[in-house]
Structure 1
């Protein structure tokens, strides 16, 4: 009987303050994740940048509990997804940076008796910097003689969009009625350098689709897509979330949606809960709330199970 391993692929995060610098080094070492033209000097430059950035990054992680909760959150998603998929399936973490790494996840899956695998990126919207980087690493370490079905994007999956809309609707309904009608819904996604967009990366279009469908299904009257977490001086996708909120929040409640993130981590707990909130209130918002990451919501886990099953069927060789 076949045993299917599902690899939950995500960027990862430091599990302690001591892991911040090694995590940053891995991040800046990957030419798909950080596209700056470092050439043959990339390892040296990555070491220098990670050392310089580690203290300020560690301060941010200290504010959210001294670590990234993404590993624990993804482990909870893996347990819930394995229950939803049932016998013959096992779920394993494959973090692109940090631990458990993709290689560690593959070793665990093989030890559990996996005979085939499904690559399930926890980035709903495909981007070269995230999805492709994780897929390239999984291809490198997964045994070539065993089948591997690859899922690239599920930004338009009906179950995912319904779960996303339900989470937004619940947050909107928690607002006072006086704020609800005029609330500004801001879908904030991780940014991408414009150099990648000009090369044809489909990410912005996928983000727009997910945001538009989520807003429609939730009955949101007004929404805007913005981008966060810019790194370096190069031009990135915009508008920037913080700058947009400072300029457009006056006199209304603001609801932010982490549309590209399905787990809580630094980009939600610090960038949105601290920086974006501060920007909105400074800009005159009457209230600021954030939709929680989808995490282990039953409707979201059911959607992930369908994505995995459909991906396996689509990737199965013809009989």
Structure 2
């Protein structure tokens, strides 16, 4: 029997600093998120970050928390329900960090008699800190607890026409009645070393402005290439002026170089130096609105833009439970069902 496990990032159980600390500990101790030797990662996370960051992060979560709970969890549940309505296959939901766990999701499917699982990481682009960590953990859990299960993973869908159509139409619909000068495509940042570690050729990814545009097997696992390609796909789909579109990367930690240009600096530059008064921002690395989109972009980004002289700041919502996005997922699930 076949079934589907949708997997998103995750969220603390509440905005209580203790729950946030527990969540951050699980997240940041992942060797594919902070890819340092265990002793150093433990010192950094448990010795420094978890003693300072939970209260600040809890305050940020409080700004975006809904009555029903974490926006990411609530929106993921809505997506699950809508997709379930379009297929007879059991659809379970899990989070890489926090609850419900991937083990719980696999157990739910197992209890329903499922032996063949389509694993759907809810990330359009591949990255070792997102897609890869889901696939690795799911396989570890399968071997230990569900040896008779078969896992098939949905590849990154940044290039799939159904996804690009859903994303493009959501942007067009949201901005249809808004006057804007420029669009920023802001993707979540990762350290440059992650790009090189994911390079299956061990030589292609130089992050020099040209490698992402030169055909290579490395692109199948290159987050940077897939982000820029997502932007290009939407530009083509909507017929946007390339001169009025910029791709950036948000969030960074530590002193090592992360993917550039940085979103926060670009937001300020667009207002201060480029004279942009009306800025729209899209966040295509996420399919569900979360802390990074609702607080870091829609609140902090807006404040930075206005302080730098900007006037109008539009944050395009993620796909969330958008009907065309639901239809895209249902289509891919039906293809899995037929095979």
Q: TM-score if structure 1 supplies the norm length? A: 0.90
* Residues 52-96 of structure 1 deviation map (CA, whole Å, 9 limit, x = unaligned): 210111111111127631111111111111112x22x11112211
CA deviation after TM superposition for structure 1 residue 41, in Å: 5.2
Q: Which residue of 2 aligns with 1:149?
A: 152
CA deviation after TM superposition for structure 1 residue 191, in Å: 0.3
> Which SS does the other structure have where 2:170 is aligned?
helix
CA deviation after TM superposition for structure 1 residue 225, in Å: 0.6
Q: Is the 8 A contact 1:168 1:218 kept in 2?
A: no
Q: Is the 8 A contact 2:170 2:319 kept in 1?
A: yes
* Distance verdict in 2 for CA 1:136–1:268, change over 3 Å: same
2:228 matched to 1:208? yes
CA deviation after TM superposition for structure 1 residue 34, in Å: 1.6
Distance 1:278 1:44 in 2: 34
Q: Is the 8 A contact 1:68 1:266 kept in 2?
A: no
CA deviation after TM superposition for structure 1 residue 104, in Å: 1.0
CA deviation after TM superposition for structure 1 residue 236, in Å: 0.4
Give the alignment of 1:282-293 within 5 angstroms. Answer: 282-293=307-318
Q: Which residue of 2 aligns with 1:278?
A: 303
| Matching residue within 8, 11, 25 for 2:9 | 11
* Residues 234-253 of structure 1 deviation map (CA, whole Å, 9 limit, x = unaligned): 21001111110101132431
Distance 1:174 1:211 in 2: 22
Query: Which stretch of the first structure deviates more once superposed, 59-68 or 5-14?
Result: 59-68
* Distance verdict in 2 for CA 1:105–1:51, change over 3 Å: farther
CA deviation after TM superposition for structure 1 residue 45, in Å: 4.1
Q: Is the 8 A contact 2:183 2:246 kept in 1?
A: yes
CA deviation after TM superposition for structure 1 residue 28, in Å: 1.4
> Which SS does the other structure have where 2:10 is aligned?
coil
Give the alignment of 1:145-294 within 5 angstroms. Answer: 145-175=148-178, 179-180=179-180, 183-199=181-197, 200=199, 201-221=221-241, 222-249=244-271, 250-294=275-319
CA deviation after TM superposition for structure 1 residue 44, in Å: 5.2
* Distance verdict in 2 for CA 1:9–1:223, change over 3 Å: same
* Residues 142-161 of structure 1 deviation map (CA, whole Å, 9 limit, x = unaligned): 22322211123111111110
Q: Is the 8 A contact 1:90 1:109 kept in 2?
A: yes
Q: Give structure 2 stretches of 5+ with no counterpart.
A: 200-220
Distance 2:61 2:174 in 1: 26
Distance 2:337 2:224 in 1: 26
Q: Is the 8 A contact 2:115 2:148 kept in 1?
A: no
Q: Is the 8 A contact 1:118 1:312 kept in 2?
A: no
CA deviation after TM superposition for structure 1 residue 255, in Å: 0.6
Provide the aligned C-alpha RMSD in A.
Answer: 1.8
Distance 1:34 1:152 in 2: 23
CA deviation after TM superposition for structure 1 residue 11, in Å: 1.4
* Distance verdict in 2 for CA 1:311–1:42, change over 3 Å: farther
Distance 2:4 2:191 in 1: 30
* Distance verdict in 2 for CA 1:300–1:112, change over 3 Å: same
Q: Which residue of 2 aligns with 1:307?
A: 332
Q: Which residue of 1 aligns with 2:75?
A: 73
Q: Is the 8 A contact 1:77 1:301 kept in 2?
A: yes
Q: Is the 8 A contact 1:127 1:203 kept in 2?
A: yes
Q: Is the 8 A contact 2:34 2:41 kept in 1?
A: no
Distance 1:16 1:278 in 2: 26
Distance 1:46 1:309 in 2: 42
Distance 2:336 2:233 in 1: 22
Distance 1:310 1:209 in 2: 24
